Structure 1
Amino acid sequence: MTEREIFLTAEGLAKIEEEYEELKTVRRKEIADRIKQALAFGDISENSEYDEAKNEQARLEERIAKLERTLRNARIIDNEEISAEVVSIGSKVMVKDIEYNEKIEYTIVGSAEADPYEERISNESPVGRALIGRKAGEIVEVHVPDGVIQYEIISINR
């Protein structure tokens, strides 16, 4: 199975690297210490502290493996690659919801660093897919579970 390329901004890469280092150096040691402490209680067959620490260790190792895959397959979006003419990954796009006459600024990012609460949307999301490749002034239709949303692209920035 070939792994697909994961698009990251320089900022997104820095966040992932920071989390990765924190998990490997700090959290691993904390969990290992908890496991040692739980083992000191004796019989592990009915030791809930041991079971919980082992479960947490498994979740941690799974997260570390995911971050390693992300870093291994990362393609960093260079600011010089980002066009102000056409929406692409890394673009900051000001759109106007035509129905509600509200303006929203989205940053289009790869799925690994998407955070809708910060208006950082994935290029794979319905809105992201609809905006990619479009120009300022265009009206795009986004098919969402509740129907169709129409956005007018007001501006595109790096």
Structure 2
Amino acid sequence: MGRIPITRSGFEKLKKELETFKTVLIPENIRDIEVARGHGDLSENAEYSAAKERQAYIHGKIKEIENNLALSDVIELAFTATDKVIFGVTVCIEDMNNGQATKYRLVGPLESDINENKISVTAPLGKALIGKKIGEVINVKAPGGLKKYEIVDICVEP
């Protein structure tokens, strides 16, 4: 698998998540398993089974986060003006069909979150935006059909 682009803040967020799993969730889970063991026969102990399932989930997530961190390629953003869309910038696009303007920050796939208006550079919209300039129009295949957007603004935010 290739390297995964990520912002410094996204990388730090992943490290913090890993630390939480290791220092908070594992100890909590160990306590839950011990408490459940105290309730008797483990073969019919739903609380014990649930705690063991949680343990498997926690250890799986730790491996996943560690792998993502190992594959991450932190892209340091130069906070200077740019005239084209690149990784890490915030771009304002206008939907040519309804005139609605929306701002998105282009990030790596590990950081994308539509609720925070962060889209991946590997998503169809992200791919279409990379390298474009203000005033250019892009076409993106969407579930509802072809969408046209005009790039209205590009800015670099810390």
Shared fold (TM-score, shorter chain, > 0.5): yes
**In structure 1, C-alpha distance between the alignment counterparts of 2:79 and 2:69, rounded to whole Å:** 20
Post-superposition offset of 1:82: 7.7
Q: How does 1:8-87 map to 2 (within 5 A)?
A: 8-80=6-78, 84-87=82-85
State the partner residue of 1:132. Answer: 130
SS at match of 2:149: strand
**In structure 1, C-alpha distance between the alignment counterparts of 2:65 and 2:5, rounded to whole Å:** 13
* TM-score normalised by length of structure 2: 0.94
**In structure 2, C-alpha distance between the alignment counterparts of 1:5 and 1:83, rounded to whole Å:** 26
Unaligned runs of 5+ in 2: none
SS at match of 1:108: strand
* TM-score normalised by length of structure 1: 0.94
Moved more, 79-88 or 37-46: 79-88
State the partner residue of 1:122. Answer: 120
**In structure 2, C-alpha distance between the alignment counterparts of 1:81 and 1:45, rounded to whole Å:** 59
SS at match of 2:28: helix
Going from structure 1 to structure 2, the CA distance change for 1:51 and 1:82 (only over 3 Å counts) comes to farther
**In structure 1, C-alpha distance between the alignment counterparts of 2:97 and 2:55, rounded to whole Å:** 48
Unaligned runs of 5+ in 1: none
State the partner residue of 1:109. Answer: 107
Identical positions, percent: 35
Post-superposition offset of 1:102: 1.0
**In structure 2, C-alpha distance between the alignment counterparts of 1:82 and 1:130, rounded to whole Å:** 22
RMSD, aligned CA: 1.4
Going from structure 1 to structure 2, the CA distance change for 1:12 and 1:82 (only over 3 Å counts) comes to farther
Q: How does 1:92-103 map to 2 (within 5 A)?
A: 92-103=90-101
State the partner residue of 1:144. Answer: 142
SS at match of 2:91: strand
**In structure 2, C-alpha distance between the alignment counterparts of 1:37 and 1:82, rounded to whole Å:** 55
Post-superposition offset of 1:83: 6.5
When the two structures are aligned, how many residues end up with a matched partner?
156
**In structure 1, C-alpha distance between the alignment counterparts of 2:81 and 2:40, rounded to whole Å:** 62
